[in-house]
Amino acid sequence: MSCFPCCTSQERINKKSLKKSIKEYHEEKILASFANISVKTDSGKRNLITNELAKLGKGNITSKIFPYRELCVATQNFNPANMIGEGGFGRVYKGHLKSTNQVVAVKQLDRNGFQGNREFLVEVLILSLLHHPNLVNLVGYCAEGEHRILVYEYMINGSLEDHLLEITPDRKPLDWQTRMKIAEGAAKGLECLHEQANPPVIYRDFKASNILLDENFNPKLSDFGLAKLGPTGDKTHVSTRVMGTYGYCAPEYASTGQLTSKSDVYSFGVVFLEMITGRRVIDNARPSEEQNLVLWAQPLLRDRMKFTQMADPLLEDNYPIKSLYQALAVAAMCLQEEADTRPLISDVVTAIEFLARKKVEVDEPRHTKETSSTQDGDSSEHNESDEESDGEEDDENEDEEKDKNVEINKKE
Ligand SMILES: Nc1ncnc2c1ncn2[C@@H]1O[C@H](COP(=O)(O)OP(=O)(O)OP(=O)(O)O)[C@@H](O)[C@H]1O
Ligand SMILES: [Mg+2]
């Protein structure tokens, strides 16, 4: 199954319907089959992972199966010097595949770790069946004996977390336009899962460390082990054990285990707020009233005069102020307590596409300096004095007009 790269909305609609009819016949059953994956014990099916994948994938698993030996060579025996990260699944190493001269990221499942065979299977299945520019590419896997190893394309800029929340002195903070571009791509990745996959896939683990960045800061979602198939037929939600990462989970999911695609929309809102504010969702190093980002932001989001207080100080006021307002409005909609009132991710994509392109297409020069729109380019600059010289009333009217452009139209 492949999700089409984003294009114009008309093209998207045409491609969507074409894709739907092809998928209905062929692929729905394949993706649906992983809903019932149950691997009772790690040892029970230890040697059968590849057979299981072949069965569930119905011959559509095209990822390469790596011999363990080849991955040892690629990572110099999983040399700690090549380690690029560590998470709940295990350690991630940078590696080089001699056969294809390809640099890869090799994630080795920690046998004592939290995640197990089910997550391994789900990850391989989803990434083998779904292809999209904003989903990380799985090069292959190794399930030889006890080994559970995933081999991904190498994302040279690491994770969004590294550039946003764990900035080292040698790193330049992300500029506003790059933040919007990352938010747009990450939302498109979710859109592929929710609206193009059939049945829909709920990601469940949307967070800054799972958004990987390539050389141009294009984002790709990674870590699909926790993903779940969305409700089908008349069902409004799936009931499941609460998994994911504290702080990013939607309130209804955390309290009742009822999972819908709107839970991912909430998590998107949290990450988007992290991107705007540069604050971590839970930060115990801050004063107690600021430790929970969403609770800290809630009163500020109700008062437009306080919006600029929320912008990441590392932006040094270099952002178009109206973009800030609109971005915060999108974040606030995603963070609504009531799941039904949150927008669909496709509506979020529409709104953020506008913000990511805004400077080039619609910003008035008197508000921002004309500049290009990438991290290595430069940022548009928010000029406080220009803003202040505008009549507040004019500002309001202009905002209303612009807000129409980013209005989130509910499709439901
Ligand atoms: N394909 C990749 N290319 C480059 N770096 C990667 C890749 N995959 C993972 N990493 C790096 O390894 C780190 C750890 O990733 P991993 O997914 O194992 O854990 P995590 O996302 O930090 O936590 P969790 O296990 O809770 O999801 C990432 O933050 C990233 O810096
Ligand atoms: Mg991860």
**Boundary (domain end) residue, out of 124, 153, 182:** 153
* pLDDT score at 352: 97
> Do 359 and 305 share a domain, yes or no?
yes
Residues 267-295 pLDDT 10s:
999 999 999 999 999 999 999 999 999 99
What CA–CA distance (Å, rounded) separates 367 from 117?
53
113 lines ligand 1 (CB under 6 A): no
Lowest mean pLDDT among 2-11, 64-73, 169-178: 2-11
Ligand 1 atom nearest residue 152's Cα: 1
- The response to whether 181 counts as a known ligand-binding position is no
Q: For strand 138-142 and strand 64-65, is the pairing parallel, antiparallel, or unpaired?
A: parallel
Q: What is the DSSP letter of 286?
A: S
Query: How far does the centroid of ligand 2 lie from the alpha carbon of residue 223, in Å?
Result: 5
Least confident of 59-63, 154-158, 277-281: 59-63
Residue 150 has pLDDT above 50, yes or no: yes
Full residue range of the structural domain in which residue 380 is found: 160-410
The reported pLDDT for the residue numbered 89 is 74
| 205 in active site | yes
Q: pLDDT grade, residue 55 (50/70/90)?
A: low
Q: Does the structure show a pLDDT above 90 at 168?
A: no
Q: Do 310 and 212 reside in the same domain of the chain?
A: yes
Based on the fold, state whether residues 169 and 93 are members of the same structural domain: no
Residue 128: the pLDDT is 86
Tokens of residue 103, six digits: 């640099």
Q: What pLDDT is recorded for position 312?
A: 97
Atom of ligand 1 nearest to the CA of 161: 29
Q: For residue 333, is it within any domain?
A: yes
**152 pLDDT higher than 90:** yes
Place 232 in a pLDDT band, splitting at 50, 70 and 90: low
- At residue 189, does pLDDT exceed 90? yes
Strand order in the sheet with 64-65: 64-65, 138-142, 149-153, 102-109, 90-97, 83-86
pLDDT tier, 52 (very low <50, low <70, confident <90, very high otherwise): low
Spell out the residues 6+ positions from residue 131 whose beta carbon is closer than 8 angstroms to its own: 1, 2, 3, 137
Output the CA 87–ligand 2 centroid distance in Å: 6
Higher-scoring residue by pLDDT: 48, 73: 73
Interval 316-369: pLDDT, tens: 999 999 999 999 999 999 999 999 999 999 999 999 999 998 654 444 433 343
Say which residues have a Cβ less than 8 Å from residue 279's Cβ, sequence separation at least 6.
165, 273, 286, 290, 293, 296, 312
Please tell me the predicted confidence (pLDDT) of residue 42. 44
Residue 12 counted as domain residue:
no
Q: Which atom of ligand 1 is nearest to the CA of 223?
A: 17
Centre of ligand 1 from the C-alpha of residue 89, in Å: 9
Please, what is the Cα angle at 139 between 133 and 143, to 5 degrees? Answer: 140
Would 14 be classed as within a structural domain? no
Q: pLDDT: is 155 or 124 the higher one?
A: 155
Ligand nearest to the CA of 88: 1
For residue 117, the model assigns a pLDDT of 76
Question: Both 148 and 168 in a single domain?
Answer: no
- Give me the mean pLDDT over the 192-221 stretch: 93
pLDDT, position 22: 38
Q: What is the pLDDT of residue 411?
A: 34
* Euclidean distance between CA atoms 355 and 357, whole angstroms: 5
CATH of the domain at 37: 3.30.200.20
- Nearest partner of 269 among 216, 323, 332, judged by Cα: 332
User: Which pLDDT value is given to residue 36?
Assistant: 53
> 383 in helix, strand or coil?
coil
Q: Output the pTM of the full model.
A: 0.79
pLDDT surpassing 90 at residue 110: no
Ligand 1 atom at minimum distance from 90 CA:
18
Give domain status of residue 23, yes or no: no
**181 and 268 housed in the same domain:** yes
Residues 267 and 389 in one domain: yes
- Is the CB–ligand 1 distance for residue 152 below 6 Å? yes
> Is the per-residue pLDDT at 372 higher than 90?
no
Question: Which residue among 153, 174, 193 closes a domain?
Answer: 153
| Interval 104-120 mean pLDDT | 77
Among 162, 175, 205, 363, the active-site one is 205
Ligand nearest 159 Cα, by number?
1
Pair 348, 226 in one domain? yes
149 and 174, same domain (yes or no): no
Mean predicted lDDT score pLDDT of the chain = 78
Rounded distance from Cα 364 to ligand 2 centre (Å): 39
Q: Are 204 and 263 in contact (CB under 8 A)?
A: yes
221 lines ligand 1 (CB under 6 A): no
Q: Are β-strands 228-229 and 201-202 bridged in parallel, bridged antiparallel, or unpaired? A: antiparallel
Give, as one character, the DSSP assignment of residue 16: H
Does 104 sit in the ligand 1 pocket, CB within 6 Å? no
Please list, in sequence order, all residues whose beta carbon lies within 8 angstroms of the beta carbon of residue 387, skipping any fewer than 6 positions away. 321, 367, 395
- Whether residue 275 is found in the same domain as residue 396: yes
Tokens of 357: 């392109």
391 has pLDDT over 80: no
Q: How many domains does the chain have?
A: 2
Q: Which ligand is nearest to the CA of 166?
A: 1
Would you say residue 20 lies in a domain?
A: no
Pair 107, 215 in one domain: no
384 CA from centroid of ligand 1 (Å):
38
Q: Whose CA is nearest to atom 17 of ligand 1?
A: 87
Query: Taking the CB of residue 185, how many other CB atoms lie within 10 A of it?
Result: 24
CATH number, domain containing residue 241:
1.10.510.10
Q: Is the beta carbon of 375 within 6 A of some atom in ligand 1?
A: no
- Given this model, what pLDDT does residue 412 score? 30
